[in-house]
Amino acid sequence: MGDQYTTEDALRSDLPGLSLRIPGSQTELRFYGFANVNAYHDFNARNQTDAPAPQSIPLANSAAAMQGGDFGMSARFSRLGIDTRTPTGWGTLETRVEGDFGGSAPASTNAVFRLRQAWGEVGTEQFRVLAGQANSLWNEGVYETVNFATNLNQSFVRQAQVRATGSLAPGLTGQVSLEMPDTQFTSVAGVFTPTFSPVGGLSPAFNTLPDLLGRLTYSDNGLMLDLRGLTRELSIRTEGTALAPPALTRDAAGWGVAGTARFPMRWLSPAFGPDELIGMAYYGQGIGRYFGGNTFNQDALSNVGLPGAVTSFSFDPLPTYGATVAYRRFWTPQVRSNFVYSYAWQDYPAYALLFTPGSISATSLNSTMQQAIVNLIWSPFAELRGNTVGTGWLDVGLEYVYTHRDVFGGSAATAAAGLGFATANRILASATIRF
């Protein structure tokens, strides 16, 4: 990186995009980002959000379903970021600060800037350490989509962490991180997080230890195999909160494993070009917050507050599993499509049937969920670079999304609020202009 520092071209940077070398230093700086606008129309219930999480699509027979679908447009996920690179005695120091305008309400035209990432990482290709707010090691987008929702089985968690990354063998990378915990549980009183209590006062959702995550990634000529896992400590402390009495403490372990594979179809025949077949599957207990599109971030359930819970109180991490399969088809280097199907399942204890019918506690219990996505994306400035495609600075996309969720307990859990299931059909268009 430092070679150009001594030449006449001192402001030239090795980084792609809008970048420069800071005069009088060895630091390279890059500005990057994109402007995005998307428009959507729902064909079932009215769902006024540009980021429709599958876990919250309106239930059949609800007021939103009676109104029918509507139309919306948004540009709030447009993004800005700054990267730097500086050579040091410990290797290259990279920093990143990035934000978008997604901090406002989904239907608001007054976009609010929010921080996405802010971190520094120092080291070499063999070993490096990161500290700050960054994408979780659990994150996996799995497939390409033109909207900015957290779709079924996708994970887009960004949080404070300390991470180490090392090269273990040719093509094999290992990572481990300690990340910000966030115990979230549901009882008859509502959905609790460490910073929010639906009954007021301090929340009984409690953090005791950081989440521990690990990841192994193998890459070879377009093939990618990825295995990741996590362990967590989930806790509730009711003393001093509105849930006491009783004053109780309960701890439980959460854990999860997931695997992803990306297979280059050209391995079967050159006629497939840069097409990819992608698969992902996971299983775990108490990992709901890492799949924000699947449930209302439910890590666990508790029977605290139910009439029958007098002397025996439960705090139960939720078992969950799911899988996604996707095919990325390049019709030409400039035109491509993604075909996606996802399935997810959550297992709830029997006492959840006693949650008040129609309440958020009852209607948030998504037992089974399915989603299908198909899109067509045009990138007029895309180029074929060997076996991969560089998509260029402009994407224009059209996408159809089908989503279905079944609520645990069916109509008994929803009463007049719905029929215990929801189906959504949405079509959206999007344009992204990068710099």
Nearest Cα residue to 113 out of 76, 139, 141 = 76
For residue range 252-266, what is the model confidence (pLDDT) as tens digits? 999 999 999 999 999
Paired sense of beta strands 185-187 and 300-302, if any: parallel
What's residue 12's pLDDT?
A: 36
What's residue 417's pLDDT?
A: 75
The pLDDT of 104-129, averaged and rounded, is 90
What's residue 3's pLDDT?
A: 33
Radius of gyration of the chain (CA): 23
* Nearest-angstrom CA–CA distance, 342 and 403: 9
Whether the pLDDT of residue 339 is over 90: the answer is: yes
* Nearest-angstrom CA–CA distance, 309 and 209: 28
What's residue 17's pLDDT?
A: 63
pLDDT greater at residue 47 or residue 104? 47
Kindly state the DSSP code that residue 110 receives in the 8-state scheme: S
End-to-end, the C-alpha distance of the chain in Å comes to 22
CB 19 within 8 A of CB 9: no
Nearest Cα residue to 302 out of 315, 289, 312 = 315
CA distance readout (Å), 100 to 32, 103, 210, 315: 12, 8, 27, 37
Q: Which amino acid is at 373?
A: I
What's residue 4's pLDDT?
A: 27
Extents of the domains making up the chain: 3-434
What's residue 16's pLDDT?
A: 62
Whether the pLDDT of residue 7 is over 80: the answer is: no
Cα angle: 193, vertex 319, 256; to 5 degrees? 80
Nearest Cα residue to 175 out of 227, 113, 246, 232 = 227
**pTM across the whole model:** 0.92
Q: Which token pair is 171?
A: 């093509």
Residues 6+ away with beta carbon under 8 Å from 343: 152, 322, 323, 324, 368, 369, 370
Confidence of residue 309 (pLDDT cuts 50, 70, 90): confident
- Return the beta strands (E) in 43-179 as ranges: 71-74, 79-88, 91-100, 114-123, 127-135, 158-169, 172-179
Q: Out of 1.20.5.440, 3.40.190.150, 2.10.25.10, 2.40.160.10, which CATH number does the structure's domain 3-434 have? A: 2.40.160.10
What's residue 92's pLDDT?
A: 95
What's residue 416's pLDDT?
A: 78
* Nearest-angstrom CA–CA distance, 215 and 199: 38
* Nearest-angstrom CA–CA distance, 6 and 378: 42
